[in-house]
Amino acid sequence: MRSNSNHDFVDRVRIYHQPGAGGTTSAMHILWTLREEYRVCMVPNCSDLLSSEQIDKVVTQIMDFRNYKEPEHTKAKPVLVLLDSPDEETEFQLLSETNNRAKSMDRPGDQNWVFCVFLECLHLTSHNTFIPHSSNDLSYVLLKHELSLSERSWFKDKGRALQNEFDASMANSVNPDSLISFNILKSNFSKEFISNTVGALVKAITREEERTLLKYITLLNSFDSRAVPLAAFDEMMKVYHVDQKKRMIYRQWENELSDEFRILVVNKKTTHGTQGLCSNNALLAKASLEALCNASDGRDTVSNAALEFFRCSVFHGVWQPRQSVENLLRIVKDVLKKRQHLPSSVYFDFPPMVLHISQTESSERACAVLEEGYKLTRDPFVAQQLARLWYIKLRDWNQASMAINSAINQLPKNSFLWDTYGRIFEKRLSSEYKKYKDGVETLTRDKLVEIIEPECQ
């Protein structure tokens, strides 16, 4: 574990994985396996945007952890640190600050050992994302929803054995047709099998409130695998009613959900330790959302579902538990602002939901979703994505400038936002220059002032 550079003391290995493919489990297993050879730890809440003070505190803890009871700090073994779905800026600042601190400990003549290795677990919410894999590149691994030939054979044999036990009415036998996750694996994640199975389950859910709840959960879980707080949906599910004596009666609505709903959505703890609901896996979430959209009159769309969700009583109800709604908003913010990146560290242009809507519907619909999302969250980085969509896809410089200025007004010292501001101005200048260079229009003094003056104020 030596440094390949005279300047870099921090390295990283990335695990790209489709949700449910075992990425986080594999990463935790790696920490456990290497715990006796290296010091291992993980950074909690790294999916959130951490402040400079929080970054400083985390790096200090990593430094202290590495040097604890080490007589010679420069010869201590590197620390292995797990980052599970880190925020883009948090990841950058954490690696940068750790590297700077490590440099300050370096002495002339010392051999440059790696100070810290970050093991990054990165979700691929799009199952069609292509990542070229090279057996010679040890900086990343890719876990996909795909079984080997021997694994497929095992599932087929096990399926036959379970069917024989059920047909013979053996004790504790189960109908293998009811084991949806098992059958998805046995089919090697067949899209046709998943679509047909989920479509039948969704059709069997008839209560409108339950179908709406399923739509909102699968909308989020199609692009983010975290459980959503159960209490945030209390008012939507009519958790309260008034009896004849005008008393407010609380109803445990989660206990009344249908069996079909419970196959598609399971109870799971949220990242904040409260009760939550989560799609069984991302494949089922996407198939469920598609089935619900297809069942709607005139065929619903992901953008319609998102706009409906952002405007619903979940966020605007009177009796909503504040903390649960705030935790739900954190997931919404991440869905609208977090971009994925390739092993080359090149980021996709937009977050997965925005990309999906832009590609399957239109950039205008994606823009409408981001605008409504920004009204709801008031998150400056959601406004940044809105500005990027305006200038990259729609080439509306004025709207892009308005969006990024709104973000900068909230975080005037953030370099990421100012970088976007500069790129908008650069793209506008390039676009205008091309028109005058090709002779399409004549550049006048007034036009030049109109373009440059607002950016110089």
Per-residue confidence (pLDDT) for residue 200, from 0 to 100: 92
Q: Are 399 and 390 spatial neighbours (Cβ–Cβ below 8 Å)?
A: yes
CA 74/CA 105 separation, integer angstroms: 7
Per-residue confidence (pLDDT) for residue 334, from 0 to 100: 92
> pTM of the entire structure?
0.76
CA 426/CA 232 separation, integer angstroms: 43
Q: Are 375 and 326 spatial neighbours (Cβ–Cβ below 8 Å)?
A: no
User: What are 16-75's pLDDT values in tens digits?
Assistant: 887 667 788 889 999 999 998 999 999 988 888 888 899 999 999 998 998 888 877 667
Per-residue confidence (pLDDT) for residue 1, from 0 to 100: 46
Q: Are 202 and 214 spatial neighbours (Cβ–Cβ below 8 Å)?
A: yes
Radius of gyration from C-alpha coordinates of the chain: 26
Residue 370's alpha-carbon distances to 74, 171, 378, 409, 435, in angstroms, are: 48, 54, 11, 18, 30
Per-residue confidence (pLDDT) for residue 296, from 0 to 100: 72
Q: What CATH architecture applies to the domain 338-457?
A: Alpha Horseshoe (1.25)
Per-residue confidence (pLDDT) for residue 4, from 0 to 100: 44
Per-residue confidence (pLDDT) for residue 288, from 0 to 100: 94
CATH number of 10-143: 3.40.50
**Which is it for the CA torsion 82, 87, 92, 98, positive or negative?**
negative
Per-residue confidence (pLDDT) for residue 377, from 0 to 100: 96
Per-residue confidence (pLDDT) for residue 115, from 0 to 100: 84
Per-residue confidence (pLDDT) for residue 285, from 0 to 100: 92
Read off φ and ψ for residue 87, nearest 5 degrees: -65, 145
Element holding 233 (H helix, E strand) = none
Q: Which residues, in sequence order, are CB contacts of 65 under 8 Å at separation 6+?
A: 39, 41, 79
Structural tokens at position 120:
């990054």
Q: Are 421 and 394 spatial neighbours (Cβ–Cβ below 8 Å)?
A: no
Structural tokens at position 317:
């109800």
Q: Pairing relation of β-strands 228-229 and 275-279?
A: antiparallel
Sites in the chain below the pLDDT cut of 50: 1-7
